[in-house]
Amino acid sequence: MPSSTPLALFVGMPGLELSADEIAFFREANPFGLFLFRRNLDNSEQVRHLCAQFREAVGRPDAPVFIDQEGGRVQRLNNGNWPSFRSLGEFGALARKDLELGKRAMRLSSQAMATLMAELTIDSGTTPVLDLARKGTHDVIGQRSFGDDPDLVITMAREVVAAMLEAGELPVIKHIPGYGRVTVDPHFDLPVVDAAPEDLRDTDFRPFVALRDAPWAMVAHLVFTRIDPERAASVSPVVCDLIRRNIGYDGVIITDCLTMDALKGSWAERVTAALDAGYDIALHSQGDLAASQAAAGAARPLSEQSLARIARAQAKRGATRSDVAALHAEVEQIFKENGIA
């Protein structure tokens, strides 16, 4: 039987269903959640079965299953069996032409996406992105961002957060405290930002301060040289303290995937460093069973403080469902009428 308190860990898995060995691992280790990728998704019935397999294995009917489903190029539900959603950058462009129309389109699209994920029994699409995309920002952000105006980002992100919660989905604001100044891709290199904390507070940090009541956040892999020059934000107690105290964020914080090449060390060392830094949950979504076992070996049960944050997040979830096809068609019509293909 799994231990009574889950590990502070999300893991991945390699295929469309759990093998006997994977079921045994989940039953024994009891990681808090499962993170899905394209490799895990075929059709709606299969996705629901996979989620049910995981929840049965860990013995928790409410065990969370997350996915990257922002819209645009970062949407895993994109094999033709589900609608294709526009990027946040496209909604930002629409809002710059007509703010109220942009907000409405964003709300409708988020309602449709949230309902789709709820129907699949997926708990979060780990969206919205609050990073500022400015000139020189690496394409790893690009159209995933609403733009370079903090006020516009705040306004549009609030529409996503509200719609997700209404449908019972967990919005995850990312990448706290801000990825907008990165010039390299953290999947392959460690980004380094040399901006002064005062400048960051007035720009990159502002959206996260404004949405500090969002239930979940994902922390970035990058070094802020004037905050902690030695460690990436995702493994830095200094940055974690800044997020909690200066930004004022007291929701659940999960790391970005710890297998990115931005970080060094073994899987176990990365998990230990992230949890030692003070973050609630480590994300190790590679999917290889041996790697997941190594990550689980370094993880620890969720703390009382983390469990309280998770409970507060759960309490914010509604249960309103929408007509996915109708809302998606309405959004597409809005873009068509405004000359945006």
pLDDT score recorded for residue 285:
93
The span from the CA of 100 to the CA of 252, in Å, is 31
pLDDT tens digits along 72-120: 999 999 999 999 999 999 999 999 999 999 999 999 999 999 999 999 9
- Of 90, 213, 218, 117, the residue nearest 162 (C-alpha): 213
pLDDT score recorded for residue 317:
98
- Domains of the chain, by residue range, sit at 75-286+300-337
DSSP 8-state class, residue 301: B
Mean confidence (pLDDT) of the chain: 96
The span from the CA of 227 to the CA of 143, in Å, is 28
pLDDT tens digits along 205-219: 999 999 999 999 999
Architecture of domain 75-286+300-337: Alpha-Beta Barrel (3.20)
Q: Is the pLDDT of residue 3 over 60?
A: no
pLDDT band, residue 187 (cuts 50/70/90): confident
The span from the CA of 171 to the CA of 179, in Å, is 18
The span from the CA of 308 to the CA of 250, in Å, is 10
Helices 99-119, 324-337: axis angle to 10 degrees equals 150
pLDDT band, residue 161 (cuts 50/70/90): very high
pLDDT tens digits along 10-50: 999 999 999 999 999 999 999 999 999 999 999 999 999 99
- What amino acid positions are annotated as catalytic residues? 187, 256
Helix, strand, coil share of the chain (percent; to 5)? 45, 15, 45
Residue with tokens 């995309």: 133
Distances from the Cα of 41 to the Cαs of 15, 48, 65, 81, 99, in angstroms? Answer: 8, 10, 13, 10, 35
The span from the CA of 57 to the CA of 121, in Å, is 16
